[in-house]
A and B are shown apart, each in its own frame.
Chain A
């Protein structure tokens, strides 16, 4: 009996992915543990192994196909000696079921194609189930009628069951937008000629970034607190630590900021928090997410429990995670979670900027460039190395004084870097 290879769920939040690359061809012999393809999720690219032995009978989803639903078949594996005709035979049987499939009403061409082929080899892997969305019948109907995709709605009922109230919440935002447009009577947007732009299809990562940051910017009351930090001592301190470059580490200013932030979070734990409806969660560890720019987006790998780590460990860990982030080979536990984020655009000469909070975290630090600026010291103009740091916080759980206290501690540590040794 042919075996189907299904689109795996590589993270708990993954609902669909893109087949980035097939590493095997039809007819190839594979055995358990062989890598057959690479899948791009919202966060990373991962390799998929087969758990069975056999011959690749048919590749159902071609390379580069996006939005492939988790648990839909992507290829068919034939047991040794099995007739490839089985697949065709299966297909013809499947035709009888086609009306039923149409009945189910798949709105996605790819999905339909997958479904049709899926039936051919239906009972080969009974342990695999298609993912079921738990939603009340009323919620399903309301979602259907307001054109909402249940996949995009998180349920507040038992075990995440989607209820009427979830649909009402989800339906609210777009409705308001639509209303605004019709009421103000904006003219219909004219079709732009096709040549005036190039459409770049949204990758899974781009969709995730869009969804998460929209939610954060819309739902979290942000405010920003900035401080100028004199990093003169820090620069000298760094030179001394790194020495002549013969050591097995090279600590960057950013590494210092990561460590200093963790210490400041210990001193002002009210800044290491997440807001929930029932309580403010104060985190025990300082798990710091580092914003890393990758092709087509960004990702935030996490340095866990930073205060327990030395500068060289932190530095090496950031390098390692950033490099794997760029290759797209981060594991989900390496970027899911975190209690505080640092984003650094200093290397691009940016003086200061405001970031959007990486929800459900309570704060994000934006790091500008360290540069020589005129300052007034003892009533006289002088030149100093100054860096502007800006903290964006969630006002639901962090108030102005708390944010300011954190910035004061952080400035204090960075201006007297010997404190980093504590």
Chain B
């Protein structure tokens, strides 16, 4: 039996970061992965979709080159090379994770790990007989997988999850995306940009249901301008397959019925934790809603067994998993750590337009009993945004009117995913409107809108 100080199960962004931090802290550490280093995020999620969206963005810009004074003849794309580029980038980063683990002397096992009582792991690889590992600290970071729609009884060819949607052979003529969370609207943006007739179906009245309604409304309007059709408050009544096409009967608002026939469906109705086949039943670990129950430092109901990342519950985001993993291992090492503060985890969606946010929405702040001050600044008032040709968007800030605490920030428009960290730092350091007002933002940048939004909340806005 091989003994380790720490065993991490799953080498996604949560798992591998935890393993590296564990090694830095002097623990003899191993990590077990059954598919690919870097997990979904790096191989089938965050990163490869950003590569696809970048291609779509370049294509979109080239089609509009004329508005920048550039004439280009025929603009075309080669889907095979777009997908290859995306896969190559994943591969490159996957190798990078392998290098980082090796550099930090983390032992990497390829295979499937199963708990065999507290402290013990049975590792089975395809070609070898099971190996036994033991450790006083086992960290489960097995992530999540797409939630499925089994009642549809459609083949993978017609009903895609993100796995299939990421490696298309051709752009379907028409496409329905079920679900308007980050994954749904990103794929909708990609396929729309490359010419598909895209319809988003959302069961709730608002797309991007977790975002501030005002921001979501602006995003919706922009997406519709790009050509995406959006049906909210939609429930699917019936699904009929005919050759290479699918017909959906939909009930919409006020019980109006609609029939849509498309070539492909992308299911983006969320993800669920990977808690099966882990041998959890051999321990006291408890689960709820397809996730493992933990305390605020990742400890499960079984001493010595921890869980972090998607498998430990929402929000299911790579950056949350990384942070949670670091907290967990540092707590194990006896360091003084603060528990995860979910209200300070930013959200980023890389659709066209981009959306980013942190903290409370205006409504949630009011419902939580705050009296609020709200600032807004539109892209049209920012010189850099106009120079970039990105006139649409908004930066919204929400403050506690009594203390000046920044409660939330919400943005929609070009590159806002690269701006949000400024507000995340501000919230983390507990700045008030005063320090944000006193900060000198560089001119000309999109970030000036963050400043102006804060000024607007206190009736001091300059450029509108």
Contact = CB atoms under 8 A, between A and B. Distances in A.
Interface of A: 136-139, 141-142, 145, 163-164
A339 B453 CA distance: 54
B136 interface: no
Interface in B384-411: 403-405
22 contacts: A136-B429, A136-B430, A136-B431, A137-B429, A137-B430, A137-B431, A137-B432, A137-B434, A137-B435, A138-B403, A138-B404, A138-B405, A138-B430, A138-B431, A138-B432, A139-B430, A141-B403, A141-B404, A142-B403, A145-B403, A163-B430, A164-B405
A164 B435 CA distance: 16
Interface string B78-115: 00000000000000000000000000000000000000
8 A-B pairs closest in CB distance: A136-B430, A138-B430, A137-B432, A137-B435, A137-B431, A138-B405, A138-B432, A164-B430
B14 to A, nearest CB: 23
Interface residues of B, number: 9
Nearest to A135: B430
A145 B430 CA distance: 16
B346 to A, nearest CB: 19
Interface in B407-464: 429-432, 434-435
B216 to A, nearest CB: 28
Contacts of A142: 403
Nearest to A140: B432
Nearest to A164: B430
Contacts of A136: 429-431
B58 to A, nearest CB: 42
Contacts of B403: 138, 141-142, 145
A403 B435 CA distance: 52
A173 B430 CA distance: 23
Nearest to A157: B338
A136 B431 CA distance: 7
Contacts of B431: 136-138
A225 B414 CA distance: 70
Contacts of A137: 429-432, 434-435
Contacts of A139: 430
A140 to B, nearest CB: 9
A141 B403 CA distance: 7
Contacts of B434: 137, 141
A232 to B, nearest CB: 49
B334 to A, nearest CB: 10
Nearest to A145: B403
Nearest to A162: B430
A141 B434 CA distance: 10
A43 to B, nearest CB: 27
A161 to B, nearest CB: 9
Of A136, A145, A164, most buried by chain B (CB within 10 Å of CB) is A136
Contacts of B435: 137
A330 to B, nearest CB: 31
Contacts of A164: 405, 430
B173 to A, nearest CB: 54
A290 to B, nearest CB: 32
Contacts of B404: 138, 141
Nearest to A142: B403
Contacts of B430: 136-139, 163-164
Nearest to B404: A141
A139 to B, nearest CB: 6
Of A137, A139, A164, most buried by chain B (CB within 10 Å of CB) is A137
Nearest to B428: A136
Given A137-B430, A137-B434, 20 more contacts: A136-B429, A136-B430, A136-B431, A137-B431, A137-B435, A138-B403, A138-B404, A138-B405, A138-B430, A138-B432, A139-B430, A141-B403, A141-B404, A141-B432, A141-B434, A142-B403, A145-B403, A163-B430, A164-B405, A164-B430
Contacts of B405: 138, 164
Interface string B7-31: 0000000000000000000000000
B321 to A, nearest CB: 22
A147 to B, nearest CB: 14
A268 B271 CA distance: 53
A136 B434 CA distance: 12
B354 to A, nearest CB: 29
B377 to A, nearest CB: 22
A360 B387 CA distance: 62
A145 B405 CA distance: 13
Nearest to A156: B338
A142 B431 CA distance: 12
Interface in B119-144: none
A141 B435 CA distance: 12
A136 B427 CA distance: 10
A141 B430 CA distance: 11
A145 B401 CA distance: 13
A17 to B, nearest CB: 30
Of A139, A141, A163, A164, most buried by chain B (CB within 10 Å of CB) is A141
Contacts of A138: 403-405, 430-432
B121 to A, nearest CB: 28
Contacts of A141: 403-404, 432, 434
Contacts of A163: 430
Interface string B348-373: 00000000000000000000000000
B104 to A, nearest CB: 25
A138 B426 CA distance: 11
A149 B434 CA distance: 21
A302 B102 CA distance: 51
A333 to B, nearest CB: 24
A184 B235 CA distance: 58
A137 B432 CA distance: 6
Nearest to B402: A145
A146 B172 CA distance: 62
B140 to A, nearest CB: 23
A96 B372 CA distance: 42
A218 B149 CA distance: 57
A136 B405 CA distance: 11
B245 to A, nearest CB: 57
A160 B122 CA distance: 44
Contacts of A145: 403
A163 B435 CA distance: 16
B446 to A, nearest CB: 25
Nearest to B427: A138
A163 B405 CA distance: 12
Nearest to B434: A137
Nearest to B435: A137
Contacts of B429: 136-137
B236 to A, nearest CB: 45
B409 to A, nearest CB: 15
A142 B430 CA distance: 11
Contacts of B432: 137-138, 141
A172 to B, nearest CB: 16
A136 B428 CA distance: 10
A163 B429 CA distance: 9
A143 to B, nearest CB: 11
A186 to B, nearest CB: 28
